[in-house]
Amino acid sequence: MTEDDGAVQPRILLKLSGEVLAGESGRGIDPEITGELAGAVLALAATGCSVGVVTGGGNFIRGRDLKSADRITGDQMGMLATLINGLAFRDAVRKRGGRAVVLSSIPVEGIFETFSPEKAEKCLNQGYVVIYAGATGNTCITTDTAAALRAVQTGCSRLLKGTKVDGVYDSDPAQNPEAKRFSTLTYDDVLRLDLKVMDAAAIAICRDAGLPISVFDIWNPENIIRIFKEPSIGSLIGGINHD
Ligand code: UDP
């Protein structure tokens, strides 16, 4: 519902990995791509959607890859990285004239408001782009699971998972030129074939809630809107492609 007209708006959750925010350098935050992504999110919101965004943190730290700390500490560092990305994305949305708020899973008084489904509901209804940072607040898991949780908790009708390639393939297209792209597939296909599109926990959460996932090439930020008009540019997990 919007504050203004009381009409029910579709809700979309976009998972933004740290890698994409880093642009070609793969590290830190690239203002150009981050700005383009913010512009695309605002354009999606302008079509009448409420938009939530979950930020990853892999452009700074992935716990499992960190050599200088144990896994749990590394994961905690990774979760803090998602907060930095949340601030960067909020800034990019505001620079484009949009309204955005960061809700953190981890209380950080003085900088963030803490996530609750009620708080998210209020902010979405007020027309804010709601950025969910701080991941799940638990170690040993990834921000894909955070995205699935927030999407279900806030009643989204679609989870958008942008990737480096244009959908889900039966093998890595970077390694296998014969790799085939799926137009549609079920949640169980992803789990059974161990397709590395999102972690298994995220897929299971979406499956149990019946939440479809669109997978598409996010290096072209316009695809955030295009995927709804031309689903064949990506893959749809757990839904029917009407392209
Ligand atoms: N992380 C965590 N709990 C979560 C989500 C993330 O501990 O609920 C940590 C984990 O170390 C992960 C890092 O934060 O590697 C960054 O998240 P992710 O790898 O999902 O970021 P992305 O690849 O999307 O940028």
Q: What is the pLDDT of residues 194-237, one digit of tens each?
A: 998 999 999 999 999 999 999 999 999 999 999 999 999 999 99
Residue nearest to atom 16 of ligand 1 (CA): 57
Which pLDDT belongs to residue 3?
Answer: 35
Transcribe 204-227 into DSSP letters. HHHHHHT--EEEEETTSTTHHHHH
**Residue 122 CB partners (closer than 8 Å, separation 6+):** none
Choose the residue to mutate in 75, 77, 150, 163 for probing ligand 1, maximizing ligand atoms within 8 Å of C-beta. Answer: 75
Q: Give distance in angstroms: CA of 33 to centre of ligand 1.
A: 20
Torsion of the alpha carbons at 235, 31, 81 and 142, rounded to the nearest 10:
0
Residue nearest to atom 6 of ligand 1 (CA): 142
pLDDT digits (tens, 9 = 90+) for 74-98: 999 999 999 999 999 999 999 999 9
Residue nearest to atom 12 of ligand 1 (CA): 62
Choose the residue to mutate in 61, 131, 143, 199 for probing ligand 1, maximizing ligand atoms within 8 Å of C-beta. Answer: 143
Q: Give distance in angstroms: CA of 41 to centre of ligand 1.
A: 22
Phi, psi (degrees; rounded to nearest 5) at 242: -105, 25
Whether the pLDDT of residue 5 is over 70: the answer is no
Q: Which of 1, 14, 50 lies closest to 150 in space, CA to CA?
A: 14
Q: Give distance in angstroms: CA of 109 to centre of ligand 1.
A: 22
Distances (CA, A) of 210 to 205, 207, 219: 9, 5, 27
Q: Ligand 1: which residues within 6 Å by Cβ?
A: 17-19, 56-58, 62-64, 74-75, 78-79, 81, 135-136, 138-139, 141-143, 145-146
pLDDT digits (tens, 9 = 90+) for 12-68: 999 999 999 999 998 999 999 999 999 999 999 999 999 999 999 999 999 999 988
> What's the whole-model pTM score?
0.94
Q: Give distance in angstroms: CA of 188 to centre of ligand 1.
A: 23
Which pLDDT belongs to residue 183?
Answer: 96
Which pLDDT belongs to residue 243?
Answer: 59
The topology under which CATH files domain 8-237 is Carbamate kinase (3.40.1160)
Strand-pairing partners, residue 11, are 50
**Mean pLDDT rounded to a whole number for the chain:** 94
